[in-house]
Chain A
Amino acid sequence: MTRVLVCVKRVPDSSGEVVLTDDGQAVDGRYAGFTISDHENCAVELGIRLADATGGSVTVLTVGPAEAVDQLRAALALGAGAAVHVQADPARLGPDDVAHEIAAVVRDHRAAGAAYDLVLLGNDASDSGDFQVPVRLGYRLGLPIVTGASTAEVTGDRVIAEADGPEGRETYSVPLPAVVSVLEGGVEPRYPTMRGRMAARKIEVETRQPTREPVGPSRVRLLLPPPAPATAEVLGEGPEAAPAVVDLFERLGVGR
């Protein structure tokens, strides 16, 4: 009966061209659209699997603008059973602010008799790339933290998580409750079903306000790297380019 909280962040889709807002404080995602990071897609998947395996439940949480409810609905459609939305402007929040707000939700739910066994997050958000919200959350809650796990299983009152370390695949065995940050690659995220989408619409999202004035991200500004001039000489198109390529190998004297 593992009760899992999965934290997701609405981020601009950065697979195409990245545009900044006029004040240089954020990425303008209005044209590219919004999503959650791949690591978080895997965290949602892991959370649902863990809950299913133990007859437990998944709650999904986001700290973000009003529109971030889209990302909550997407996770609900996959099988999360409840959602919490802390409404805040992400450009004004630093990693410690986010950890603080998540911790406040965890404590309040615990006080209301709905304690979580496991909090899952992505290892790093694809926009701010701070690599620290999970760790700061663990310290705020006084819980053990495993970072960069690609798989996790609950056995008894422990979570067994695996992560790739410099010396090989590492296993952690940590007593619950715990905080685990997830790295993509260990599980294949599922797709929503029509039934899941319909069910998700009926779930009421718990909406909250931040519990403190944010410290902020210490950001001076964002910059785009200067565009690199195109310098490549095109040798050809398709398989017909092969002779020109091998001519090049011969000129460079490689492969002899």
Chain B
Amino acid sequence: MILVLVETADGAAAEVSLETLALARALAAEGGGVPVQAVVVGEVPDPAALAEELGEHGVAEVHQATGDGVAAFGGAAWAAAVQEAREATGSVVVTAAGSVRGNEVLAHLAARLQVPMAANVTAFSGLAPFVVTRQVVGGAALEEMRLDQRPAVFTVAGHAWQAAVAPTGPATWHTFAPDVAPADLVASVVSVAEKEPDTSDSLRSARVVVGAGRGAGGPDGFAPVAELAELLGGAVGVSRVVTSLGWRPHHEQVGQTGSRITPDLYVPCGISGAIQHWAGCASSKTILAINTDPDAPMMTKATYAVVGDMHEVVPAIVAELRRRRTGVEC
């Protein structure tokens, strides 16, 4: 049995969890068709809808952990729930997305079970021994790692796999109230601040995305980028450096731990093209990179490139667009 921790957003399975299910199904097939089961922690607004969605993605059974112990997020409490589901199902593999939650909860699980854990896996090869390939050194290198002990615990790098349907009919739904020890409740979330309005849906569906990275230089460096995006009827996407430094909100982040975009045109400005960023933008039909460094990975992997300072190039493009539209210089 393969058990997948499925995260939800607004009642639907998170895209990265569906990607993890795609890897889990490939692994299940390799293992001679072992069933894939899901564990969902906490309340979901419409279990029937989620059961149907997960069934579409090859899940036979869903185990939903409910009750006070898991009402607020806590790494230990959620891991206790996953641990109970893994015992009940006798799963030999437990996996989750390489998201903030996925990495945290499975690290707890691995520590509790005293087994190794592999973070950010992109592929597996061979079942005996079970060897996974994972991202290390910020994606600049890969590591082949043995996972000899059972359960094999690993997380799947975001957007390394693509979500795909494999219908088996609606998944059977079970609920259980995990037995969460008081010590596991100590480090649980006590409050969550209201999130700023999330525009990641429009980013994911945008036909044009104008991106900006560290090259923007600071929180004030995004105005020309936003203007270009607006002129092209598109959205702004940014690198993780930009969200980590607080220059722009996280929901604008493109990449492994952000959104996967699929526009007709992506215009990354001042973005080096690290593997984790590439994971989120590789499905763009055309990429036009703007960067001072002609050898940056984004500049060589793009379809088109402009070598130059984004603070000069982007305003010049904006001016040229306006000039052609209005027929006047501005």
Looking at chain A's contact residues, the main secondary structure is mixed
Bound state CA distance, A252 and B119, in angstroms?
39
Choose the segment among B82-90, B163-171, B190-198 that binds chain A (4+ C-beta atoms closer than 8 Å).
B190-198
Number of interface residues of B (CB under 8 A): 88
Looking at chain B's contact residues, the main secondary structure is mixed
Determine if A87 is an interface residue (Cβ-Cβ < 8 Å). Answer: no
Q: Provide the residues of chain B in CB contact with A254, threshold 8 Å.
A: 207-208, 232-234, 264-265
Q: Provide the residues of chain A in CB contact with B128, threshold 8 Å.
A: none
Contact present for A255 and B119 (CB under 8 Å):
no
Contact present for B110 and A132 (CB under 8 Å):
yes
**A126-B111 contact given A228-B301, A235-B304, CB 8 Å threshold:** no
Determine if A209 is an interface residue (Cβ-Cβ < 8 Å). Answer: no
Determine if B34 is an interface residue (Cβ-Cβ < 8 Å). Answer: no
Name which of B75, B76, B304 has the most chain A CB atoms within 10 A of its CB.
Answer: B304
Contact present for B319 and A242 (CB under 8 Å):
yes
Bound state CA distance, A245 and B286, in angstroms?
13
> Out of B14, B110, B189, B303, which one reaches A232, CB within 8 Å?
B303
Within 8 A of A (CB), among B301-324: 301-309, 312-313, 315-317, 319-321, 324
Interface string of A225-239 (1 = CB under 8 A from B): 100111111111111
> Out of A139, A164, A243, which one reaches B112, CB within 8 Å?
A139
Determine if B300 is an interface residue (Cβ-Cβ < 8 Å). Answer: yes
Interface string of B89-116 (1 = CB under 8 A from A): 0000000000111011001101110101
Q: Provide the residues of chain A in CB contact with B307, threshold 8 Å.
A: 234, 236-238
Determine if B138 is an interface residue (Cβ-Cβ < 8 Å). Answer: yes
**A18-B137 contact given A228-B300, A233-B305, CB 8 Å threshold:** yes
Contact present for A222 and B141 (CB under 8 Å):
yes
Total A-B Cβ pairs within 8 A:
241
Contact present for B190 and A239 (CB under 8 Å):
no
> Out of A126, A145, A172, A245, which one reaches B189, CB within 8 Å?
A172
Q: Provide the residues of chain B in CB contact with A18, threshold 8 Å.
A: 137, 140-141
Contact present for A168 and B308 (CB under 8 Å):
no
Contact present for A175 and B75 (CB under 8 Å):
no
Q: Provide the residues of chain B in CB contact with A131, threshold 8 Å.
A: 103-104, 107, 117, 119-120, 155
Contact present for B104 and A220 (CB under 8 Å):
no
Determine if A193 is an interface residue (Cβ-Cβ < 8 Å). Answer: no
Contact present for A166 and B231 (CB under 8 Å):
no
**A252-B264 contact given A126-B137, A223-B142, CB 8 Å threshold:** yes
Contact present for B308 and A241 (CB under 8 Å):
yes
Name which of A27, A131, A165 has the most chain B CB atoms within 10 A of its CB.
Answer: A131
Contact present for B264 and A166 (CB under 8 Å):
no
Choose the segment among B23-31, B47-55, B62-70, B145-153 that binds chain A (4+ C-beta atoms closer than 8 Å).
B145-153
Contact present for A144 and B187 (CB under 8 Å):
yes
Within 8 A of B (CB), among A148-186: 148, 163-175, 178, 183-185
Bound state CA distance, A246 and B265, in angstroms?
13
Distance in Å: Cβ of B95 to nearest Cβ of chain A? 14
Bound state CA distance, A148 and B294, in angstroms?
34
Contact present for B192 and A218 (CB under 8 Å):
no
Bound state CA distance, A232 and B7, in angstroms?
37
> Out of B111, B275, B317, which one reaches A132, CB within 8 Å?
B111
Determine if A80 is an interface residue (Cβ-Cβ < 8 Å). Answer: no
Q: Residues on B close to A: CB < 8 A?
A: 7, 9, 14, 73, 75-76, 99-101, 103-104, 107-108, 110-112, 114, 116-117, 119-120, 131, 133-138, 140-148, 155, 183, 186-195, 207-208, 231-234, 243-246, 250, 264-265, 275, 286, 288-289, 294, 297, 299-309, 312-313, 315-317, 319-321, 324
Q: Residues on A close to B: CB < 8 A?
A: 12, 14, 18, 20, 27, 94-96, 124, 126-132, 135-136, 138-139, 142, 144-148, 163-175, 178, 183-185, 217-225, 228-243, 245-246, 248-249, 252, 254-255
New A-B pairs, 4, CB < 8 Å, besides A132-B103, A172-B189: A127-B137, A185-B243, A246-B321, A254-B207
Query: What are 18 A-B interface contacts by the 8 Å CB criterion?
Result: A20-B141, A127-B137, A131-B104, A132-B107, A132-B111, A132-B117, A136-B110, A144-B186, A166-B101, A168-B193, A168-B195, A171-B191, A178-B187, A184-B244, A220-B131, A228-B300, A237-B306, A255-B234
